[in-house]
Chain A
Amino acid sequence: MRRTAPSMATMDDYLRQYGFIFILGIVAVLVPASVLMVSYLGTKIRARPFRPNPIKYDTYECGMDTSGTVRWERFNVRYYRFALLFLLFDVEVVFLFPWATQAGALGWGAFGAILVFVALMLVGWAYEWRRGGMEWDETLPQPAAEALPEPAAVEQAAA
């Protein structure tokens, strides 16, 4: 293993990339901070109305009605199969993208290798499919209903 010291130019380029991240970080803090500041100042000069209601204070959940508490919520165990399935295709794509950008330069050998890789992923997919991993099996037990707090309690907590 021959170790060559990186030249100064490449080292600078390398550090410069962290510089961009640093600048992005500053912007990411400044933008929401200034919005909050404007909102706060708006309250001070009574330009901002104050009309709270439970729906307004609800947790945002893709537009669906919120169910249960936000933290440590019990969820249906069946979701884990879908998570696995998602992982399968997600990881597949993660590996496909770098190859796709260099497909021409890498040639047929790499194409064959990626075909083998996709074939292996397909084995997992076929297994999941045939074993019924994509069925939403209603016979499995649901999380106990009493574990969920009453909607009234949620509204009170929000108000």
Chain B
Amino acid sequence: MGLSARDLLLVSPELALVVLAIVIVLLDLVLDRKGFVLAVGIAGLAVPLAAALGLWAIVADGGPEMAFHGALVVDAFALFFKLLIVGILGLLLLSSADYIERFSPHQAEFVALVLLSAAGLMLLAGAADLIAVFVSLELASLPVVALVAFSKSERSIEAGIKYLLLSGLSSAVLLYGFAFLYGATGTVRLVALDPALPTIATMLPAAGGALPFGGFAVLLGVVLATAGFGFKLSMVPFQMWTPDVYEGAPTPVAAFLATASKAAAFAIVLRLFYTALGGASADWSIMFAVLAAVTMTVGNVVAIAQSNVKRLLGYSAIAQAGYMLIGVAAVASDGGSLLGAESVLFYLGGYAAMNLAAFFAVIAITNATGDDRIEALAGVGRRTPLIALVLAFALISLTGIPPTVGFMGKLFLFNAAVSADLAWLAVVGVLNSVVSAYYYMGIVRTMYMREPAEPRRIGAPVTAWVAMGVATAGVAVLGVWPAWLLDIARTAAGSLVP
């Protein structure tokens, strides 16, 4: 027993993030200049990035490895998410250089909390048993509560308390579900490299009979766990918090919740259902298909009525989660093809790029205008042509119009649905894309066709330009040349099922 150097090597990306967070807090205590905090944070991200890339090379050569007596697994799937989260973090910190000035003198705490939450999300992607899932989920959620309330305005604190209460409630529900899964199977293990070790997959009662999942306990466990994860995914009917929290939270935190947090939640949902409950895929596939259809419809229809751009992005995040749930539901009936899982991974990568581009543009604009109503975007096309272009391009991608990654991602998702005999779900998805065009294009129209309320031009710091440039380039490049990310997504999804 005890931990070995190998264990530490395998968690080096998370370890590097935690150490970076502590270094930032300590440096902030002894140094007076605050500008360095962000620079150290961004430069320091090179360490977890390098560690994750190194582990990718190790895993590509020698196959997946387990750390901490089977609590964590390091495989291509987990590393895909770790790299994605580090990338999101880097862009997010770059874009919020101006924004976090308003938190003075607490910029260091802000950056450190973001890093700690990201470390939890990265652990979540590699969690190999239910206990590790729960612990890393809490590690990821708690800093976010403080971050959501960081603006200290009434709205921000209200959003923080909402997030705290609902995330606590969803954790309790999730844990209750885990208890049933453990009770029914006698193990908490999701992944085992040694086939002799029992996992939930091998201990699952045979499917069939009157009840789905072969028994009442597993059924209850799956339903409760889905409800618990549904909160993180902002899946209908657990989406109520999303618009309120996005509106109240500092915009970079909303962007973090919409991209990194959602990606890790999808990671663990895919891991739980494909790996541990893969034997009962016929039972949960239809559940996710219905949830996907309801989620995207509710998200898109309610988004039409929004007048605040952050609330609108919140509903957009709900709708986008619905699209991605199509991929979760699209597990082939033979269980052999991973088309659904790899299209979810591809979409998550593309979604991170386009959603971050949209959020960065909104951060840059609202930071200058101090007004996050959609009306305040009137004439932004004239006040700042380039930022408006970034936002317009991101919204085109979120709608799913070529030549953007949004189009490619939806193409793969709908394709996976059709090949899994869920053609009706693909039709619902296409109809929803049409509905979403109304409100996404509504913003574009407001930006370009309306007269500005005031002629003052809007600028952005260099770091924000870099972040917007990289995110926009990601949207464009993946839109015309998706093959490379698809290859990586295929490799990652391939490690999901032994």
Which A residues are closer than 8 A to B by beta carbons? 1, 3, 109-110, 113, 120, 123, 126-127, 130-131
Contact = CB atoms under 8 A, between A and B. Distances in A.
5 contacts: A1-B187, A1-B198, A110-B2, A113-B3, A130-B29
A127 B25 CA distance: 8
Contacts of B187: 1
A120 B198 CA distance: 36
Interface of A is mostly: helix
B26 interface: yes
Nearest to A123: B22
A109 B8 CA distance: 13
Nearest to B188: A1
B189 interface: yes
Contacts of A109: 2
A3 B186 contact: yes
Chain A to chain B: the 9 pairs with minimum beta-carbon distance, closest first = A130-B29, A1-B187, A109-B2, A123-B22, A127-B25, A126-B29, A1-B198, A123-B26, A127-B29
B235 to A, nearest CB: 32
Interface residues on B, range: 10 to 19
Interface of B: 2-3, 22, 25-26, 29-30, 186-187, 189, 197-198
A80 to B, nearest CB: 15
Nearest to B187: A1
A142 to B, nearest CB: 22
A101 B403 CA distance: 66
Contacts of B29: 126-127, 130-131
Contacts of A120: 22
A123 B25 contact: yes
Given A123-B26, A126-B29, A127-B25, A1 B2 contact: no
B324 to A, nearest CB: 33
Nearest to B25: A127
A1 B25 contact: no
Nearest to A109: B2
Contacts of A123: 22, 25-26
A120 B2 CA distance: 19
Contacts of A3: 186
Contacts of B30: 130
Contacts of B26: 123, 126-127
A126 B186 CA distance: 44
B70 to A, nearest CB: 10
Given A126-B29, A127-B29, A130-B29, A1 B22 contact: no
A2 to B, nearest CB: 9
Contacts of B189: 1
Nearest to A119: B22
B113 to A, nearest CB: 13
A3 B186 CA distance: 9
A129 to B, nearest CB: 9
Nearest to B112: A127
A99 B29 CA distance: 31
Max chain B C-beta neighbours (<10 A), residue from A1, A3, A120: A1
A3 B198 CA distance: 12
Contacts of A130: 29-30
A3 to B, nearest CB: 7
Contacts of A113: 3
A150 to B, nearest CB: 35
A12 B189 CA distance: 31
Contacts of A131: 29
